[in-house]
Structure formats: structure tokens, C-alpha cells
Structure 1
Amino acid sequence: MSIHWWMFYCYIILFMGGAFMSRLPREVFGRNLLYDFHKSVGVLTMALLTWRILTLLQVWWKKYTKRLPKYSSQWMQKVALHTSLYIFMYAVPISGFFFSNSFQSNNVRFLGVTLPDLFPQNSDLVDLGRNIHFWLAYTFLAFIILHTIEQFKVVKGFWRRITKRKIKPS
């Protein structure tokens, strides 16, 4: 479960940072560093996601080889929501790669190390890449909100845990 929360923090940083830096004028000092940081966190999140999926597949294999789940409409809705979340978790960073690679070749770095391009540079596709990345990110955010609503009890307990203050007896 801790990987879930690490990814949560990464996505919060990505959403807030992406919304902030996309509004910055090009001439602002440090703008490129913010973009490099954003891309590094995106790559880290994809690595964490891959680790999470491999772990999840192991857990599912152990759990469902012993006993199949009870198929119900509620179970199907949860599976559909979580499958959508996992698709978005990969699609948004890949659309970011598409946007970045279309704009300029060899510009995605992870902690200073330049990563190979996934897509060829093509300045005609920059606007398409920007729009795809934007709309996928905000659609993903809508699905995260649905997930939060579905898991309200868990979120409420987490909130209580992080805001709990220890009161020392007098």
C-alpha cells in the first residue's frame, strides 16, 4: 500500500507543477529546470507504476488461483475504474513524451540523464501533443476524483492519521 501513496504524492507534484509551469512565460528564469523536474518525476512515476503492476499481478495470481472473485456489478465497476486509472497512469506520461519529443529531440531527462526518444521530432505535431497531454491529464484527474469518492472511508482515515496531534498529559 505504501507504493500507492508514493505514487499519489508523485501525481500531486506532477499535476500542481504541470498546471503552474504551463502558465509561465518562456523568458522566466528556471522554467526549463521546472520542466526537467516535471519530466523526471513523470519517469519516476512510470517506474513505480511498473513495479506496482508487477507486484499487483503476483498478488492477484496468488489470490485468484485459489478462489475466483464473486462477479457482481459492484466488482465490475471497481475493476473498470481501476483499469481506467492504470491506463491513464501510463497514457499521461507517454503523451508527455510524445509532446516533448515532438517539440525537441532528446529533451526528456531523468535526474540529468538524457533518455532515448520514444517519438520522432515533428514540429507539426507539437500542438496535438500538447492537447493530448492536457486532456488526458485532466481526464485522469477526474478519474482520480471518482476513485477518491469511491474510497471515501480510506481517505477519511488517512486524513485523520496525518492530521492527528498527540496531546501530552499535563
Structure 2
Amino acid sequence: MAQGSKKNKSRKNSAYKNLMSIHWWMFYCYIILFMGGAFMSRLPREVFGRNLLYDFHKSVGVLTMALLTWRILTLLQVWWKKYTKRLPKYSSQWMQKVALHTSLYIFMYAVPISGFFFSNSFQSNNVRFLGVTLPDLFPQNSDLVDLGRN
């Protein structure tokens, strides 16, 4: 019995605890992004505070990308430790799980990156994280603004 509790205690202090913490922070960020984005897209341009809402939304998007990067690096660390000791059994079920998780992580990046892309295409120096203006990653392109709005 003491052996089992020791194993649970070590797991709570491992990368698993970090992954669960990051998971829930990302969950809250994505809820804020999706609900806030749906709300903001319906606001008329003349509403007071609209720009502040957009800046907050973009800050949460940048935070989400940072958390996702931290999560991926933590996962790679876990994989490295796990699979240097023993290689995985390459079954079709294992490959399907890896493919599913990889596609989920790609889509989790795609959402905030598309917002960053849209903001940079619309107006230069438009993305700020907690008041700090971030460099443009994409060139300004008014043709893509119409595509992004659709």
C-alpha cells in the first residue's frame, strides 16, 4: 500500500502536474478567445471600449501561443524521458493516437496564428501583449482582410 501511494505522490510532482496545470490555463484562454471573439465580431465599430476588448483578446491569443509552446516543450521532454528508456510499440492504435494529438496541437496553433495573421494583414503593428507592441510577422495585405472577415 505504501508503494502505491509513493508512486502517486511522485507523479503529482512530475511533468504530469505541469501538463495538467497548462491544460487548464489553456482551456480558460480558449474559452475567453472563442466567446470573446464571437461577442466582439457582432459589436458595431462605434461602441466605446471595442478597441480595448480587441487588445485584450489579442493578448489572450499571444498568451495562448506561449502556453501551447510551453506545453509542447514539456510533452517533448516527457516523451524523451519515456522513449529513451523503452521504445513505444508501434501499433496502428498508437499511430492513430499520435496523429490525433498532433492534429489537435496543429489546430490549437492555427487559431491564434490566424488571428495574428489577420491583425497584421489589416493594420501594421496591431498586435499588443499587455500593452507591448509585438513585431509584425506577416505583411500588411488588404486583399486578405476580406478573406479573413469571411
The answer to whether TM tops 0.5 is yes
Consecutive unaligned residues in structure 2, runs of 5 or more = 1-19
Alpha-carbon distance in structure 2 between the residues aligned to 1:126 and 1:48: 27
Percent identical pairs in the alignment equals 100
Identify which range, 89-98 or 59-68, moves more after superposition.
89-98
Contact 1:101/1:117 (CA < 8 Å) preserved in 2? yes
String of CA shifts for 1:95-127, please: whole Å, max 9, x gaps.
111101111110100001110111111111102
SS of 2:135's partner is coil
Show structure 1 runs of 4+ deviating over 3 A. none
Aligned length: 131
String of CA shifts for 1:1-41, please: whole Å, max 9, x gaps.
11111111111111111111111111111111111011000
Cα deviation, residue 90, structure 1:
1.4
Contact 1:102/1:129 (CA < 8 Å) preserved in 2? no
What is the TM-score with the length of structure 2 in the denominator?
0.83
Q: 2:82 aligns with which of 63, 67, 76?
A: 63
Cα deviation, residue 54, structure 1:
1.0
What is the TM-score with the length of structure 1 in the denominator?
0.73
Alpha-carbon distance in structure 2 between the residues aligned to 1:63 and 1:17: 39
Cα deviation, residue 81, structure 1:
1.4
Consecutive unaligned residues in structure 1, runs of 5 or more = 132-170
